[in-house]
Copies of this chain bind each other. A is one copy, B any other.
Amino acid sequence: MVKSKSQNPLEKLLNQISGPWTMYILCVLDKNGSLRFGDLRRQVEGISPKVLTDRLRMLEAIGIVHRDYNPTIPPQVSYALTDRGKELSQPLYQLYDLATQWYGEVIEEDGVQTPHTPSAF
């Protein structure tokens, strides 16, 4: 997401979970538990398959998301948060609270529904 010097672990993590779509994807996964690629794509309205794949691969690489591949025909692949992924929720809640305090409520754009999930984000 940025190569950047002086990359401490925190900065690295922040670089990874920030940027377009990523948080939104985590949010949707947190809310729904486990979703297949297509469903995920439908929930994250407007994302292109390429970008969704990129984000999922990245999240998988850092152990935040688990990819479950079933080589049936047609193939079924589903994604869910790992334990690490769920651990993230805790501190993110607090950041979310601060962010909401500061910026106020979500501003909807071009039809993308922002979740407002009470139990997560």
Residues of A within 8 A of B (CB): 1-15, 17-24, 27, 44, 46, 62-63, 84, 87-88, 90-92, 94-96, 98-100, 102-107, 109-110, 112, 114-115, 121
Contact = CB atoms under 8 A, between A and B. Distances in A.
A14 B17 contact: yes
| Count of this chain's copies in the oligomeric assembly | 2
Nearest to A112: B6
B18 A104 contact: no
Given A6-B46, A9-B96, 11 more contacts: A1-B18, A6-B24, A6-B44, A6-B114, A7-B107, A9-B99, A10-B23, A10-B92, A14-B17, A14-B23, A84-B102
A118 to B, nearest CB: 14
B94 A94 contact: yes
A109 B7 contact: yes
Contact of A121 (B6, B10, B103): B10
Contact of A46 (B5, B19, B99, B110): B5
Nearest to A94: B91
